[in-house]
Amino acid sequence: MPDNRIQLAVLDMAGTTVADGGLVLRAFEQAATAAGIEPEGPRRERARQYVLDTMGQSKIAVFRALLGDEDAAQAANRAFESAYDASIADTAVAPIPGAAEAITALRQAGVRVALTTGFSRGTQDALLTALGWTDLADLTLAPADAGRGRPYPDLVLTAALRLGVDAVANIAVLGDTTSDIATGLAAGAGIVAGTLTGAHTEQRLRAAGATHVIDSVAEFPALITS
């Protein structure tokens, strides 16, 4: 008989397992200015709202949608990554309380863990290093490692293939944004949970189709191993 327990937990980073003190939005402001979006006015406000609405998605995809030009999007993305990376060491980047313990508990219970992000591989590695998490999870994935970022299913499905999951129903996904929920649903995960430590509210997460909403990642092991 196939094993029908949760075998893989796919966890978002910023807002879900990592608290970065709003660094994403601050880095975006610098990138938007570098891209020529006026510091104030309707265009900047629309861009800010779009970034909030699409939080969790691949940053290059966000800039492509905002700017409509590949060269401009690539330049803005480089500016974003430079601003974010330069601030990691100087900002209160820290684990969400209980995150490392939750990941360790999951692995001790036999659940493989993948940490995913909408950042570049380089930015993800800088975060992992700053947190001391380079060996914490079984796998870490950025959009370039999988093909496409959120809201597509690629990150979750790549984790499933690399870590040898029997079926997509044996996957649990956790994230703080509607993009995380969309990714989990598109991948067919058995549990697609939202957490309230990040960008989007319980109402938005449930409206996006979350199967569960929890206060933080600290509650996730009990949800999927009970």
The number of helices, as runs of H, and strands, as runs of E, in the chain is 11, 8
87 vs 170, higher pLDDT: 170
pLDDT tens for each residue of 15-29: 899 987 777 778 888
Output the average pLDDT for the chain.
89
The number of C-alpha atoms within 13 Å of 11 and in the hemisphere containing its C-beta is 35
How many residues would you count in the chain? 226
pLDDT tens for each residue of 155-171: 999 999 999 999 999 99
Radius of gyration of the chain (CA): 17
pLDDT of residue 1: 34
Q: Stretch 8-17: mean pLDDT, rounded?
A: 94
Other beta carbons within 10 angstroms of residue 224's beta carbon come to: 22
Full-prediction pTM beyond 0.75? yes
